[in-house]
Structure 1
Amino acid sequence: MAEIPEDLHESLKRYLETHPTWDQDRVFAAALSLFLLQNGSGKTAEASQTYRACARVYLESLFQSPPA
């Protein structure tokens, strides 16, 4: 559970209403992984591995197939 500002919640609701193949979990996974990609660095082996994991989650959330 996380609290988000009301304006952000309303924007999320409107987005989900117009994009039926997305759900709240998918949006949050994409947003969080993109944030980590943009703000992380791959300077150490561990950081590089984490960066690749975040990239994988981000791309999977963007390109996953809609439920059948």
Structure 2
Amino acid sequence: MNTKVSIFTEIPETLHESLKTYLETHPDWDQTRVLTAALSLFLLQNGDSDRRAARVYLETLFHNC
């Protein structure tokens, strides 16, 4: 079972506008999926190569979440 946790954060308006534009042209993606992919990739690139982050990243990319 994949437990989910909600987070609230503020982002720059220009980034939000870019995200909205992306989502309008990519109906398979939603805000949660984009942020999950971005955060897990960031952790893979800058963290301790945690296999859990790699699994979440791949599941998110291939829409298995």
- Count residues with an aligned counterpart: 57
- The structure that has the greater radius of gyration is 1
Aligned with residue 40 of structure 1, among 36, 41, 47: 47
Higher RCO (CA-CA < 8 Å; seq separation 6+): 1
RMSD over equivalenced CA pairs, Å: 1.1
Q: TM-score, normalised by structure 1?
A: 0.79
Q: TM-score, normalised by structure 2?
A: 0.83
* Deviating 4+ runs (over 3 angstroms): none
Q: How do 1:9-20 and structure 2 match up within 5 A?
A: 9-20=16-27
Gaps of 5+ in 2: 1-7
**CA offsets, 1:5-37, max 9 Å, x none?**
011000000000000000000000000000000
